[in-house]
Amino acid sequence: MQMVPFGEGCRSNCFIDIVGSMKKTGRITSKHVVPNGTRYAPTEPETVWDLEVRSPSNKGSAGLFTKEAIPKGAVIGHAGGVVLSSVADIPKELRYAVLIAKNRYLAPLDYDHLESFCYFNHSCESNTARIGGLIFVAKRAILVGEELTLDYAPLIAGVPEWSMSCGCHSLGCRKVITSEDWRAPKIAAQLWEEWLAFIQKQIMELGNVKC
């Protein structure tokens, strides 16, 4: 799997690259680790579903697949890791994280042992939603053997000048995904539940979603 640095085009998948400088153990040593970061996110991810990371038959990048049927609305699990306040001191080749709140990023605890949720690929017609920055929920029934996918737009909304080319080949493929997608009324409404709270507030201020 090849993850994607902020500010560069995405080639395939998961949580946008942002992890702090690592020692040989793969543990984060960034000076921007937030004290008591568990106030924002747990250290360890969790799922009760039987999931596996493997390469799909139609492309080379690894993805996250389910080995059992997941009903619509089911909580698939929650993310975990280390909370950072900035990515300023992070080398691009060691970046794996996502925004979970304004100026708060969630990065893997150990770069050498990435959690399974780091292998979500993007789809413009995703079957999984990330709610509140941490919780993954099935947007529809997901069949045995099906790949779990996320729409990356809510993961990187608020990151300056971030974009990627999309090749998900879905009927609704937007071709380009950007950190400004929330400004488009149709996308704002379509992904409303998935935007972080500070982005939802900005969407409402623009009048793109009304109470």
Which pLDDT tens digit goes with each residue over 136-183?
Answer: 999 999 999 999 999 999 998 988 888 889 988 899 999 999 999 999
Q: Which of 79, 125, 97 is nearest to 28 (CA)?
A: 97
Q: Does residue 6 have a pLDDT over 50?
A: no
Q: Does residue 81 have a pLDDT over 60?
A: yes
- Percent with pLDDT over 70 in the chain: 79
In whole angstroms, give the CA distance from residue 113 to residue 133.
21
Q: What is the mean pLDDT of residues 58-70?
A: 86
Amino acid letter for position 129: A
Q: Does residue 60 have a pLDDT over 70?
A: no
3-state SS class at 100: strand
Q: Which residue has 């409303």 as its token pair?
A: 192
Are the beta carbons of 181 and 194 closer than 8 angstroms? no
Q: Which of 50, 102, 108 is nearest to 79 (CA)?
A: 108
In whole angstroms, give the CA distance from residue 5 to residue 172.
25
Provide DSSP, 134-197.
Answer: TEEEESS-B-TTPEEEE-SHHHHTTSTT-EEE-----TT--SEEETTGGGSHHHHHHTGGGS-H
| pLDDT bucket at 22, cuts 50 / 70 / 90 | very low
Provide the pLDDT for residue 8.
Answer: 38
